[in-house]
Amino acid sequence: MKYNNIVIISGPSGAGEDSVIDGIAKQTTVNRVVTTTTRSMRSGESEGHPYHFVTEADFNLEEMVEWAKEYNDNLYGVTVEELERVQQLPGVGVWKLEYKGVMAAREKFPEMVSILITAPEAVLEDRIRRRDTASDEHIRKRMEYTREWLQHTDIYDYIVENTEGELHKTIEEVMDILRKEQYL
């Protein structure tokens, strides 16, 4: 099946991809592809928002079209059933993925457009430190993963820099891409 209404939006921690997706949703109908994860539910989260939460024993690799073990040792993946659900809905489907997931998805679904949301490394680290109460060691590991991520920018169709204090411009740039690629 071709998934012609689903766009991939990706970015390392601190890039602001969720803020960009929320901004797009204020201008058009957005349907998020809901990822299944083995990570624990956090305060303010619920089943299906923002993930389907399962135990590691219930994470069925055979149902996943794409999956990965992340830096936090949790599994994340998306089922065919979830992609088909989003494909049937009006509006634009948004599949938020990390770079390894983008590689796997692009191999299986080359028609999907992929957009990397990023910022300079120092800005990404500052954003992580402002919003994350984690230890310096945890932040160091996230930044190592970010550096690894930024070595793979060639896998994306578009790269959009989310400049500090200019989120509205980033959202408009992504909206322009969606129009150009006929998602809107």
CATH number for the domain that contains residue 102: 3.40.50.300
Query: Considering its fold, how many domains does the chain have in total?
Result: 1
Whether 85 is in a domain gets the answer yes
Q: Two tokens at 54?
A: 């399962």
- The pTM of the full predicted model, rounded to 2 decimals, is 0.90
Classify residue 107: in a domain, yes or no: yes
Q: What is the pLDDT of residue 156?
A: 98
Tokens of 109: 């679904």
- The string of pLDDT tens digits covering residues 95-133 is 999 898 999 999 999 999 999 999 999 999 888 888 767
Look at residue 43 and tell me if it is in a domain: yes
Cβ–Cβ < 8 Å for 111, 3: yes
The beta-strand segments (E) located in the chain are: 6-10, 30-32, 35-37, 51-53, 64-69, 75-79, 92-97, 114-118, 158-161
HSE-CB at 183 with a 13 A cutoff on CA atoms is: 28
pLDDT at site 138: 81
pLDDT of 132 reads 67
Low-confidence residues in the chain, pLDDT < 70: 71, 132
Asked if residue 1 is part of any domain, the answer here is no
Distance separating alpha carbons of residues 45 and 58, to the nearest angstrom: 19
In a domain, 155, yes or no: yes
